[in-house]
Amino acid sequence: MGRKTTAENLIIFLLTCRIKCDRMIIVAKELREQKEKNMNNYRAMTQGELRLLVKGSQWQHKNGAKYTVVGIANMHHANPDYPITILYVGRNGYLWAKTLDSFMEKMMPIQD
C-alpha cells in the first residue's frame, strides 16, 4: 500500500463529486414530488372549505386568538413554488400569513 498517484486521487475526487451530484439530483426530485403532492392536496379541498375562506370571514386560532381574513394570495397560480396563502389580521392589528394547509390545520371558522 504505497502513496496514491495524482491520477488515482483525481479519480477518487471525480467519483466523490459524481456521488454527491447524484444525491443532489435525488433530493431535488424528492422536493419537486413533495411540492406536487402539496399542490394536489390544495386542489383536493372541498368547495365548502374554500367557501368559508372569504375576505372578512372570522377565524379563531387553537390558542383562542381571533382573526379576520383580509385576502388570499396565489389562488390562481399553478406553480407549486407559490402555494395558496391566507392573509389575516389579528385584533391587535398585526398582519399574518399562512399557507392554506397550515391555516386550515390551526384555525376554526367562527360561526355567526
Specify the CATH number for the domain of residue 103: 2.30.30
Is the entire prediction scored with pTM above 0.75?
Answer: no
What pLDDT sits at residue 97?
Answer: 96
**Residue 26 and residue 74 in one domain:** no
**Residue 31 and residue 74 in one domain:** no
What pLDDT sits at residue 48?
Answer: 56
How far is Cα 106 from Cα 19, in angstroms, rounded to an integer? 41
The count of domains in the chain is 2
**Residue 61 and residue 38 in one domain:** no
**SS3 for 30?**
helix
Domain-terminating residue out of 28, 44, 60: 44
**Residue 78 and residue 55 in one domain:** yes
Closest CA to 73 of 46, 53, 90: 53
Q: What is the pLDDT of residues 84-94, one digit of tens each?
A: 889 999 999 99
Q: 39 to each of 24, 74, 83, 101, how far by Cα in Å?
A: 23, 12, 7, 10
**pLDDT range class, residue 33, cuts 50, 70, 90:** confident
**Residue 40 and residue 51 in one domain:** no
pLDDT at 81 over 70: yes
Alpha helices of the chain — where are they, by DSSP H?
A: 6-43, 47-52, 100-106
Domain that includes residue 54, residue range = 47-109
For all residues of the chain together, what is the average pLDDT?
A: 81
**pLDDT range class, residue 50, cuts 50, 70, 90:** low
**SS3 for 4?**
coil
Q: 57 is written with which cell numbers?
A: 370571514
**Residue 53 and residue 103 in one domain:** yes
pLDDT at 102 over 70: yes
**Residue 40 and residue 56 in one domain:** no
pLDDT at 47 over 60: no
